[in-house]
Structure 1
């Protein structure tokens, strides 16, 4: 994916559902959520095991339905476990699926693209935002 496309995604996104959010500060999902909040994004943590609790002052929800409407779904899940949240993102009208570093699922990505979503795989917005000069 080109830098121009990544830039368009990051500048056009406002609401992000972060699937696989963790309350543990040492976890990548926690660090990325903190970074995204600091950049002005409206981030909703999604984790059924933590639903009703708060992470970084944001209420954790159990499902993507509770996070809607949303622009982007950020996935901190194993590649084998991304199909269900991607199906939900398609159904809910998300614009972008972002699979974190190390997460690649070509079959699920193809399904999302066919449904009209943009798909980013094996990347991190906390790396791409500063790299592209988009820090706020």
Structure 2
């Protein structure tokens, strides 16, 4: 099992350090893209109670929407924000190999059903990512 949460947490800590040490100075455009990404992530994966009440198919759909939001933001930036978002997309990439539907007798192209704990971990990682993106828009 990949540790999505730990990978995102390490990225967030590095980003916070770089910003705090003034190594990473965000431009107006970076802040604009980060704000849009933060809003999109919040819309994709809301509060834990709501997410946990959804069927697994919808939870997985929301996780993939969040990954798409990160990829779209990545397409609009360069430099450190692009590197950060690229690493975040890589950390979240296991959700691309998850499936919420039964395989029946067909091939799954390597897709596997995640555990409920993996859903929770990925959702929490996205909330953490959303939090840092929202905070850097006002830093």
Computing the radius of gyration from Cα coordinates, the structure with the larger value is 2
More strand as a share of residues: 1
More helix as a share of residues: 2
TM over 0.5: no
| Greater RCO (CA < 8 Å, at least 6 residues apart) | 2
TM-score (norm 1): 0.28
